[in-house]
Amino acid sequence: AQSVTQLDSQVPVFEEAPVELRCNYSSSVSVYLFWYVQYPNQGLQLLLKYLSGSTLVESINGFEAEFNKSQTSFHLRKPSVHISDTAEYFCAVSDPGTGGFKTIFGAGTRLFVK
Amino acid sequence: NAGVTQTPKFQVLKTGQSMTLQCAQDMNHNSMYWYRQDPGMGLRLIYYSASEGTTDKGEVPNGYNVSRLNKREFSLRLESAAPSQTSVYFCASSGPSIISNQPQHFGDGTRLSIL
């Protein structure tokens, strides 16, 4: 079964500094990979996704993630964070072979921008 | 632009009571999902419905039942609530254009406490 490990439970960072949120997944022949963001008292929002093709994917608000098959990683990065980026971020994986319905989430990383 | 609507937003139950969490989406999405969110554990899939008329178990289905009433509505029922079911419950949906079938739109959650 698929699993996801988010290596940091909390990441404090100063405004305008770069940030990396780390995510590793259990190996599989092929995977779909996602990052979601959750603001307080709200549901999750899809931030970006990797399905196939280019290993670098970007979101509309400056985040990017790179699929690294050899390291089974999908780390999320942003070169300069804002106060408004304070939220919890979830990495997720699913198996294309089973239709992708069973998306598995990591435990989350709380990003605190100060 | 309601998206995914969950009711109620908060509920307190006693052990052994039953209740149904309601979810409706107005985006004509085929697939719907129920997740629970517990501190330090991320979201865990309880049940999903790939299309109207079908339902399947997720990671943690024990103690729950679901009904896909029609294309819009997907309800989650706790027949005999237990304290271990205290959690925040999220409903989500995804449309037919999403080949990866990941949950795309989430409701704001139902905060359920079982005493």
Residue pointed to by tokens 């999405």: B29
As to burial, measured by CB atoms within 10 angstroms (0-12 exposed, 13-18 middle, 19+ buried), residue B115 is: exposed
- Whether A44 contacts chain B with CB within 8 A: yes
Instruction: Assess contact for A65 and A50: CB atoms under 8 A.
Output: yes
Pairs of CB atoms within 8 A across A/B? 69
Q: Cβ contact (<8 Å) for B107 and A45?
A: no
Q: Which residue of B has its CA nearest to A108?
A: B42
Q: Cβ contact (<8 Å) for B101 and A34?
A: no
pLDDT of residue A54: 81
Sign of CA dihedral B48, B113, B41, A84: positive
The residue that leads in pLDDT, A76 or A3, is A76
Q: Count the alpha carbons within 13 Å of A29 in the hemisphere toward its beta carbon.
A: 3
Tens-place pLDDT, residues B17-62:
999 999 999 999 999 999 999 988 889 999 999 989 899 999 999 9
pLDDT of residue B1: 56
Q: Cβ contact (<8 Å) for A41 and B109?
A: yes
User: Which DSSP symbol is given to B73?
Assistant: B
User: Which DSSP symbol is given to A42?
Assistant: S
Tens-place pLDDT, residues A57-105:
888 889 999 999 889 999 999 999 999 999 999 999 988 877 778 899 9
Rounded Cα–Cα distance for residues A69 and A66 (Å)? 10
Structure token pair of residue A76: 């999320």
pLDDT of residue B98: 67
